[in-house]
A and B are shown apart, each in its own frame.
Chain A
C-alpha cells in the first residue's frame, strides 16, 4: 500500500482563507510554473527569431515530451506547427501560442465539471485509482465543495485495506461535517458500499462519496473486487454509481494510459480528477489522455488545501502549460 493519499495542512484557517483574491488560473499557473518555466525557457532559447527547420522541430518535440505529453502527441503537435510555419521565421512566443491553441483544442471537449444530478438521491460517486494517487484527499475536497453548495454528504470508508485509511477519511468527515460509514479494517469493500448506500437512502443524503482502496490496474484480483463493488451497488440502484471518478496522480508518466484503459474497462470510469499538479514538471499526460480516451476531466488538484481542487478549464490549462498569461 502507499502511505499517502496526499495530505492536508490542518492550518488554523484550513487553507481556506488564503489567496482568496487569486483566480484559480493564477494558482494553477503557479503550480505549473516550474513545468512551464522549463518549457518556456526551452522554447525561447530555441527561437529568438529563427527559421523553423527540422532540427528545431525535433527539439520542440522533445520539449513537449519532457512535459509528459508522450511521443505521439508531441509529434502530432510539432507536425501541426510545421504545416503552418515550416521554413518561416518564428519567435518563441508564436510557437507557444500555436502550441497552446492546439492543446486547448484537444482539451476543450473534455473539460466538463462533475455535475450532481439532484434527481438522484443519493447521487453516488465511486472514487477509484492506483495507490497514492490522492483518492481520500480528493474525496475530502469534493465533500467540502458539495457541503458548501448546501448538499448533505455521506462518506463511505471503502478503503478497508490500507492502515489508517479509515481514520484519514474520518478526519475529513469531521472537518467538513459529513457522516462516515465505516466497518472494521479488512471488511469486504463491496459489503461496506452496499451498507453505505442503504444508509444514505434511508437518511435522504444528497451525495454519497465512496472511497476505495488504491490498486494497481494490473492486479486482476483487486480489479475484480472493484467490479464487485459496482455490481453490488447496482443491486440497490441500477443507475449507481452515477459517477465513477478515476483519481490520477499528475506526476505519473505514460503509465496513465494503461491506468485509464484498465479502470475504464473494469468499472466504466466516467471522468478524471488529476492531482498533485502543484509540484514540478507535469500535466502533459492529460493532453495525451484527452486525445486517446476523450473522457471528461472534472477537476485538477493544485495544492494541499481544500480549495485547491479546481474545475478543469481547457484554454487556461493549455496556456499555463505553455507558460502564457491568461
Chain B
C-alpha cells in the first residue's frame, strides 16, 4: 500500500508536464498527494500540516516557475524540506563529560530500550574505547534485569550485579557509585518501559534523573509507531527532558514517519537508528536517507548529487571536447561503464528515480545483465593501449587473446566493438549538432523536459545517448521510459 506516492505524484506530474509551468493550483494538487502519503507513512497530522505549509510557501512562486521541469522541482523542495526538518546535522550520542557519564534510557514498553542500551554500550566501548557499565532499573517486568545481564555478556560490557528487592532509584545510585569507584567512563541506566501517561512511573524516572543528572536522556522509540508518536515524545520531553531520540526497528517495512513527527515536535535530534536484531546493528542517523524512505519515492536529487560526485569535472570536460571532435575511444567507453557502476548500476540508478516501479518490473523481464558492465570493462582493460585507441586493428587473433585475458568469448568482444561503433557514430552526430556544449549541459544534470518526474539523468548517462547501453543486447528499454534515458532511440 506504500508504493502509492510515486505513482500518485507521477500522475499529478504527468498533467503538469503538459502545461510546462506550475500554478498555485498545481502545487496544491501535488501537495494533496504528498499530504496523504505522509499520513500513510504515520507522520503525525500537526507535523504534516506544518510541513505542507512550508513546502507550499516555497513551491508557489519563482523557484518553481523558473525551473524547466516543475514536477521535479516540487519533489526536490519536498525532499529538501524533509531533510531540513529531520535535522541537517547528524549528531551522535555524546559521552564527553566528567566520568562516569550517566546516560538515561527511557521509553514505552517494547520499544527496544534494553537491546538498544546494549548496542550503544558496545559501540561506545569499542569505537570510543570507553569503559562502560550498564544497569537495568527495570524492577517490574519479569527477567528484565537478567536480559540486560545476558546481553552484557554477549557484547562484552559489564553490568551492575543484580541485588534483589532494590528500588529503581537505589539501583541508579548504586550504579553511579560503582561507576565512580571502579573507574567507569560511561554508565548506561536502562529504565522500565512505561506508558507516557503513567504518572507514578514518570515521577520515578524524574527522581532518578534528579539523582544522577544524566548527560544524555535518550528516548527509545519504535519506528512502527503511529500518530501516537507525538504524544509519547511530547510527554517524555516535558516530564523527563530529552536530549535525543533513538529510533528502533527501522529495519521493518514501516515508512518511519514517527521519526519526522518526534523530531519536528520536540526539536530533539535523532541520534541513532536500530537496524536489526544483532547487537552491532545500530547506525548513525542520516536525514537524507530517512527523508527518502518517508516519501517512498526515488530521490532524483540524490541521483544528481551522486552523479556530480562520481564524475570528475575535468574528465567530463575532456570527454566532451573529444566527443565534439567525434572521437570516442574504447577508453572513454570504459570510463562510462565505470561511472555507471559507481552510480549503483542500472538498477541503482532506476531505484533512485521516482515512478520507476513499473519500469523496474519491465526491466526485470528485459534481461538486463548488470554483470555485463563489469565484463565489458574487463574486455577493454584486457586490450593494449593501441587497440583501445584504434579498435579497427582488432583481428581474430587479437580478439582471441583479449577474450582469454578477460575470461569472455570472442563473440562478446565482437558485440562490444559493435556497440562502441554505434556509440561513436552517435557521438559524431551529436558533435556535429554543436554537441560539446549540449553534451555538457546534459552532464550538468539538466532536466530534459518530458520525463515523468524522472529525467535529469546525470552526465555519465547523458554521455550515452542513442547507442544503446552496453549489455542491453538488442532488447532496448521498455517503452515508456523518459526521454533522456539511455535507451535505444528509434
Residue of A nearest to B234 (CB): A280
Nearest CB in chain B: distance from A100 CB, A: 19
Beta-carbon contact of B111 and A4 below 8 Å: yes
Out of B36, B114, B231, B253, name the residue touching A255 (CB < 8 Å): B253
The interface size bin for chain A is 35 or more
Q: A218-B253, A257-B1, A276-B110 are in contact. Are A168 and B143 (CB under 8 A)?
A: yes
Which of the 9-residue segments A90-98, A106-114, A157-165 touches chain B? Answer: A157-165
Nearest CB in chain A: distance from B330 CB, A: 42
**B:31-66 near A, CB below 8 Å:** 36, 39-42, 44-45
Nearest CB in chain B: distance from A297 CB, A: 17
Interface residues of B (CB under 8 A from A): 1-2, 36, 39-42, 44-45, 108-117, 138, 140-144, 146-151, 154, 190, 192-193, 195-198, 222, 224-229, 231-232, 235, 248-249, 251-255, 257-258, 277
Residue A233 CB within 8 A of the other chain? no
Beta-carbon contact of B112 and A2 below 8 Å: yes
Out of B110, B197, B232, B248, name the residue touching A134 (CB < 8 Å): B110
A-side interface mostly:
loop
Cα distance A120–B299 when bound, in Å? 55
Residues of B within 8 A of A71 (CB): 36, 39-40
Cα distance A161–B151 when bound, in Å? 11
Beta-carbon contact of B144 and A253 below 8 Å: no
Residues of B within 8 A of A67 (CB): 227
Contact with B along A53-73 (1 / 0, CB 8 A): 000000000100111101100
Nearest CB in chain B: distance from A274 CB, A: 12
Beta-carbon contact of B109 and A132 below 8 Å: yes
Residue of B nearest to A7 (CB): B141
Nearest CB in chain B: distance from A308 CB, A: 12
B-side interface mostly:
loop
Q: A163-B154, A217-B252 are in contact. Are A3 and B110 (CB under 8 A)?
A: yes
Nearest CB in chain B: distance from A88 CB, A: 26
**A:1-46 near B, CB below 8 Å:** 1-10, 34
Would you mind naming 21 contact pairs between A and B with Cβ atoms under 8 Å apart? A2-B112, A3-B116, A4-B110, A10-B140, A10-B142, A34-B197, A65-B227, A132-B222, A168-B144, A168-B147, A217-B252, A251-B222, A253-B42, A253-B224, A253-B227, A253-B257, A254-B1, A254-B40, A280-B195, A280-B235, A282-B228
Known: A3-B117, A161-B277. 9 other contacts (CB 8 A): A1-B277, A4-B114, A5-B109, A6-B110, A162-B147, A163-B154, A172-B142, A255-B253, A280-B235
**A:274-312 near B, CB below 8 Å:** 276, 278-282, 284-285, 304
Contact with B along A181-209 (1 / 0, CB 8 A): 00001000000000000000000000000
Residues of B within 8 A of A282 (CB): 226, 228
